[in-house]
Amino acid sequence: MSFVTFLVDDDGGVLKALARLLRAAGYETRAYASPQNFLAKYDPALPGCIILDLAMPGLDGLALQQELAEQDPERPVIFLTGTGDIARGVRAMKAGAVDFLTKPVDGTQLLAAVDRARRKDDEARNARANREGFERRIARLTPRERQVLDYVVLGRLNKQIALALGTVEKTIKVHRGRVMAKLEVRSVAELVRLTERAGLGPTR
Amino acid sequence: MSTLTFPSANSRTPALGSLLAGPAFTAALYFLGAEAAFLIGTLSDRIFAPFWPPNIVLFCALLLAPPRLWWLYLLATFPAHVVAELGVGMPMPQLLVAFATNCAVALVNAAATRGLLGPLPWFDSLSKALLYVAITAVASPALVALGGAFVPILGGGSVYNYWTFWVQWCLSNTVSILALGPVVLTWLSDRNRPAAHLSSGAIVEGALLSAGLFLVCAFAFESGKGAVADGLLPAILYLPLPLILWAAIRFGARGASVAILVVAVALLWRTLNGPNPFSADTPEESVFAIQAFLIGVSIPVLLLGTAIEETRRAEQAVRKSEESMSFAAIAADLCLWHFNYRSDQFWITDHGRRMFDLALDAPVTKQSIIDAIHPHDQPAARSAIRSVALSDRLIDTEFRIIRRDGSIRWVRARARADRNARGEKIKISGTFADITTQKAAESELAQQRRDLAHLMRVSMLGELSGSFAHELTQPLTAILSNAQAAKLIMANASPDFAEVAAALDDIISEDDRAGKVIHHMRGMLKKGEAKFEPINVNDLVGSTLRLLNNELIARRVTCDCNLTKELPPTSGDPVQLQQVLLNLIMNAVEAMHGVSSSRRIITIRTRTLGQGKVSIDISDRGTGVAPTHEHQIFQPFFTTKERGLGLGLAICSSIMKLHGGTLDLENNPDEGATATLVIPGEDVHLVS
């Protein structure tokens, strides 16, 4: 799936010109004249970035950013502003904007920002794909194996785990081997790293 | 002109001293009058005087005294009468009858004249003078003489001569009242008039006249004897007449009566003392003739004098009213004029000639006035003249005139057509007023108002500079992006020329848009007179909102437009009307400062009212107008804002007035306030 630039600006002339520029630079571009319009047709599954005018009637850029953050937190957002409103720029950046550009925006700057956004989106998508794969593998574990995994990640020895689960060291050893095999990891260090990245703490 | 009002019956009772002074003085005059009568001469009985002043003294005294005191005057004169008549040896019964008839004639005269003639003066009105003669010289003597005729009879006269005596008594009173009455009465009425002084020339003329009269009388009577025989008596008798007429013409009733008095006294004295100039058989017969002559001359002369006086007074009154009118006109810087249709003559006051800078002696015509009018104003002036002729209304018009020195003055003309009984127009009368200074003040005021409105516009523009910058940034962004896009497309191996052309087209239209923003801003910054042009109110609202777009977003205010399509055509100055809209919308925005952002909504509605009027309502949901401020919000320098000048609404209101429209601000029933602008239709006359 190719990278899409979603363009939202209430000014028709600006919207048309920016869309033309992005298309000329080779991006697939979808232009929306209002935030409401954009939200109604937005597909979070598509890879891409959003280019938002900060000052729009009804729902302004910052409010739209907040709304997006709830359903699509990783989506990179580039802000455009007609007035160099520093306070709102800072707020936008804190809320995770990739860039904050002042109109009239220079094409090279905008394209550079879009490029950065694409890389960020790619990374985010890759990370998400990795995370999702790991989670799928974890789902293959039996409840007992899942319990063992939690203790392993905490750095417990087989003997300690067996004591805690009320079984013998040998059984734990078998479980541990299966966990490693099902999660497709070769070392405990790799296991710890993956679980951390997936945000999985012990189930206890 | 003052009048001498007689004291009425209910006048306040004066002190005893002053109460008796009048009667005592009257008695003294009565006595002197009787003595004078005797001195002038009596008839053959040595008792009956053909000229008898005491009755006039008593008559005048009764005129001056309140009626309830009349008895006191009659009582006081009785001793004077007795002493005077006893002095000539009149027996008691005769004396008593004589007193009774004297009192009677004085009482009848006083009562009748007081009742019928009213207050003095009487000798400036022909009708009053006629009535005076009818009462005092005809009716009253004729009546009382019925008793008076007994006086000579009681003195030994024959009863068969009753009617002779009646005539003698009657004529004696008539001559006295005609010769002496007007002298005393005019003197009495002049006494209370402040400016009744005669000029020194008039005094000299009067003296010459009197001397002439005496001389003529003396000459006439001395030369009379021979003349009678030659049949020249009438000519000689009428010798004093030119002098009497002279007196009447120059000095009115007063002069006439004094002249008659002089002639009467001289004639009677000469007849009764010394040789009889008229060579009649008895002095009685001569006296009768003289009395008849005197009466015949004095009544017309007296009336002539009165008529002359009346005419002179009327002329004076007219002159005085003309003077005061022309003074009032000059004081008001007005000039009066009229134009006669029949004679085609134009009359104008000297003040008007100076106003129009016309020579004071040159003839003025309608054309010379029209020629003086500024060429630009001539059509309007001509149509004003036509409408004066057509309607009965007062026409009011203003125009400029060019004076000979080239200076321009503003003149306001008011005129009305005068019509005769058949409704045909006879002439146009009117006024011209120089209103140049007023016009200058008006234009200065308008200039100041324009300056102030401009100042407010500039200051508002300062506040909205962010909005203007944003309005410029958008097309600039579009232009830059289109240009860069075109460049990118051109860099392609197979450029899409159609897209490049589209980009260039967009650049052109966006450039045009930026130009409009700058033009708009320049219009607001520009200072000048209001220029009226056709206006689409909905477009005006739209362009104002575009200008405020950024401001509204920054302040989180939503604008809800409810515009009626196909509004009637209106006209106005777009810059000034937009200034009003900007001001009102910004007021609405500021009114909602404390309101939560979800409720910060401004509703703008355009509507069609009757008669081609269009209204714009701007409603907010803010705090509204405090009831205590309702009457002040349109006052200059009234403000509820911390940093406001208090001129916004005052200027908006004056701009709307200039457009012949209105501006109202009212609280909504639920929350906030609504400002309503009413703009009149295009065909409505504009006050520019």
Cα–Cα distance for residue pair B468/B549, rounded to 1 Å: 10
Cα–Cα distance for residue pair B652/B584, rounded to 1 Å: 8
pLDDT score recorded for residue A203: 46
pLDDT, chain A, mean: 85
B111 pLDDT more than 60: yes
Number of inter-chain CB pairs under 8 A, A vs B = 92
pLDDT score recorded for residue B2: 44
Lowest mean pLDDT among A160-174, B177-191, B291-305: B177-191
pLDDT score recorded for residue B216: 84
The residues facing B677 across adjacent strands are B616, B663
A117, A162: one domain: no
pLDDT score recorded for residue A188: 84
Cα–Cα distance for residue pair B639/B656, rounded to 1 Å: 20
B501 pLDDT more than 90: yes
Which of B114-123, B216-225, B473-482 has the highest average model confidence (pLDDT)?
Answer: B473-482
Report whether B250 contacts B212 (CB < 8 A).
no
Closest partner CB to B485 (pick from A11, A20, A82): A20
A103: which 2 tokens?
């109109």
B359, B370: one domain: yes
Cα–Cα distance for residue pair A53/B550, rounded to 1 Å: 12
Contacts of A53 in chain B (CB under 8 A): none
CATH of the domain at A165: 1.10.10.10
Closest by CA position to B432, among listed B400, B389, B480:
B400
Cα–Cα distance for residue pair B672/B587, rounded to 1 Å: 11
pLDDT score recorded for residue B488: 92
CATH of the domain at A45: 3.40.50.2300
Q: Show which of residues 475-494 on chain B sit within 8 Å of chain A, judged by CB atoms.
A: 475-482, 484-486, 488-489
Confidence of residue B154 (pLDDT cuts 50, 70, 90): confident
Question: Do the Cβ atoms of B510 and A57 come within 8 Å?
Answer: no
Confidence of residue B47 (pLDDT cuts 50, 70, 90): low
The residues facing B429 across adjacent strands are B338, B416
B594 domain-assigned: yes
DSSP secondary structure code for residue B4 in this structure: B
pLDDT score recorded for residue B507: 95
A96 domain-assigned: yes
B685 domain-assigned: yes
pLDDT score recorded for residue B223: 65
- pLDDT tens-place string over residues B629-649: 777 777 766 777 766 666 788
Confidence of residue B685 (pLDDT cuts 50, 70, 90): very low
Question: Do the Cβ atoms of B474 and A82 come within 8 Å?
Answer: yes
B668, B566: one domain: yes
Helix or strand run (H / E) with residue B563: strand B558-563
Closest partner CB to B550 (pick from A20, A55, A80): A55
- pLDDT tens-place string over residues B273-306: 766 666 556 666 777 777 888 888 888 888 888 8
Confidence of residue B271 (pLDDT cuts 50, 70, 90): confident
The CA distance from A91 to the nearest CA of chain B, in Å, is: 15
Question: Do the Cβ atoms of A21 and B470 come within 8 Å?
Answer: no
| Residue B453 CA: distances (Å) to CA of A95, B615, B629, B665 | 45, 22, 23, 20
Closest by CA position to B659, among listed B558, B581, B589, B552:
B581
Give Cβ neighbours of residue B349 (< 8 Å, ≥ 6 apart).
B326, B329, B335, B336, B337
- Residue in the block written with tokens 């850029």: A61
Reduce the DSSP state of residue A32 to 3 states and report it.
strand
Number of domains, chain A: 2
Closest by CA position to B115, among listed B100, B136, B101, B99:
B136
**Domain end point (choices B248, B283, B313):** B313
A109 domain-assigned: yes
CATH of the domain at B596: 3.30.565.10
Reduce the DSSP state of residue B334 to 3 states and report it.
strand
The CA distance from B376 to the nearest CA of chain A, in Å, is: 50
DSSP labels, B265-317 = HHHHHHHHSSS-TT--SSHHHHHHHHHHHHHHHHHHHHHHHHHHHHHHHHHHH
pLDDT score recorded for residue B687: 41
A112, A160: one domain: no
pLDDT score recorded for residue A88: 77
Q: What is the extent of the structural domain holding A79?
A: 4-134
- pLDDT tens-place string over residues B332-352: 878 888 888 888 888 888 888
B323 domain-assigned: no
Is the Cα torsion angle A80, A85, A90, A92 positive or negative in sign?
A: negative
Is there a cis peptide before residue B300, judged by omega within 30 degrees of 0? no
pLDDT, chain B, mean: 83
B179, B291: one domain: no
**Domain end point (choices A115, A134, A153):** A134
The CA distance from A59 to the nearest CA of chain B, in Å, is: 9
pLDDT score recorded for residue B227: 55
DSSP secondary structure code for residue B137 in this structure: I
Which of A16-20, B367-371, B606-610 has the highest average model confidence (pLDDT)?
Answer: A16-20
Closest by CA position to A173, among listed A145, A142, A153, A202:
A145
The CA distance from A56 to the nearest CA of chain B, in Å, is: 7
A204 domain-assigned: no
B630, B542: one domain: yes
B8 pLDDT more than 70: no
B68, B207: one domain: no
Contacts of A108 in chain B (CB under 8 A): 484
pLDDT score recorded for residue B198: 66
Region B255-271: mean pLDDT is 81
Question: Do the Cβ atoms of A17 and B554 come within 8 Å?
Answer: no
Q: What is the extent of the structural domain holding B31?
A: 1-7+15-195
Closest partner CB to B474 (pick from A13, A25, A106): A13
Report whether B4 contacts B113 (CB < 8 A).
no
**Domain end point (choices A108, A134, A160):** A134
pLDDT score recorded for residue B644: 66
A105, A27: one domain: yes
Report whether B93 contacts B79 (CB < 8 A).
no
Helix or strand run (H / E) with residue B601: strand B601-608
The CA distance from A146 to the nearest CA of chain B, in Å, is: 50
B328 pLDDT more than 80: yes
B549, B574: one domain: yes
Region A145-160: mean pLDDT is 87
Confidence of residue B618 (pLDDT cuts 50, 70, 90): very high
pLDDT score recorded for residue B274: 63
Residue to mutate among B468, B474, B602, with most A CBs inside 10 A, is B474
Contacts of B476 in chain A (CB under 8 A): 103-104
Residue B381: exposure state from Cβ atoms within 10 A (0-12, 13-18, ≥19): buried
Number of domains, chain B: 5
A145, A47: one domain: no
A41, A119: one domain: yes
Task: Please report how many Cα atoms fall inside a 13 Å half-sphere around the Cα of residue B368, on the Cβ side.
Answer: 17
DSSP secondary structure code for residue B628 in this structure: G
Region B79-84: mean pLDDT is 89
A128, A150: one domain: no
Question: Do the Cβ atoms of A17 and B509 come within 8 Å?
Answer: no
Share of chain B above pLDDT 70, in %: 90
A202 domain-assigned: no
B37, B179: one domain: yes
Confidence of residue B39 (pLDDT cuts 50, 70, 90): confident
